[in-house]
Amino acid sequence: MSNNPDLDGAMGSIWLHGRWRDLTRHMTTEEREAAAAAVERWHVSLGDDEPLGESSMVELRWWADPYVEIEAAYQALTACLDHGGSGVDAARLRMDTAMRTRPRMGES
């Protein structure tokens, strides 16, 4: 359990009423995981025996979705190409990596 239930409650409030993706977008992966874990602890502390639903779990850890990275890589590549190609090699590498690491048909 958390040593700081107030922080868990704050993260839970942001999860329920705030703009979760906007807030966590500016965090490192480690900070995102800590924030998501705080939301899970907060949910348990409410005494609700029901776990967060599957769609909530996906949204809670949106950064873990490989298709989010593919979309971000595509947008970065498109922006580079639209602005004269500066940084296009890095954007292509990001896109190639995202495509190689995505789940294949039939994989979970």
Query: Of 48, 40, 51, 33, which Cα lies nearest the Cα of 9?
Result: 40
Do 99 and 70 touch, CB atoms closer than 8 A?
Answer: yes
Q: Does pLDDT of 59 surpass 60? A: yes
Give the residue carrying structure tokens 């966590």.
24
pLDDT interval class at 49 (50, 70, 90): low
* Domain region containing 91: 66-101
Q: Does pLDDT of 39 surpass 60? A: yes
Q: pLDDT tens-digit profile of 4-33?
A: 889 999 999 999 898 998 899 889 888 998
Structural domain contains residue 35: yes
Shared domain for 51 and 13, answered yes or no, is yes
Shared domain for 59 and 70, answered yes or no, is no
Count CB-CB contacts under 10 A for residue 103: 9
How many domains does the structure of the chain reveal? 2
Count CB-CB contacts under 10 A for residue 107: 6
Name the residue with higher pLDDT: 12 or 69: 12
Burial of 42 from C-beta contacts in 10 A (0-12 / 13-18 / 19+): buried
Single pTM value for the model = 0.58
The contacts of residue 41 (CB under 8 Å, 6+ apart) are 1, 2, 5, 8
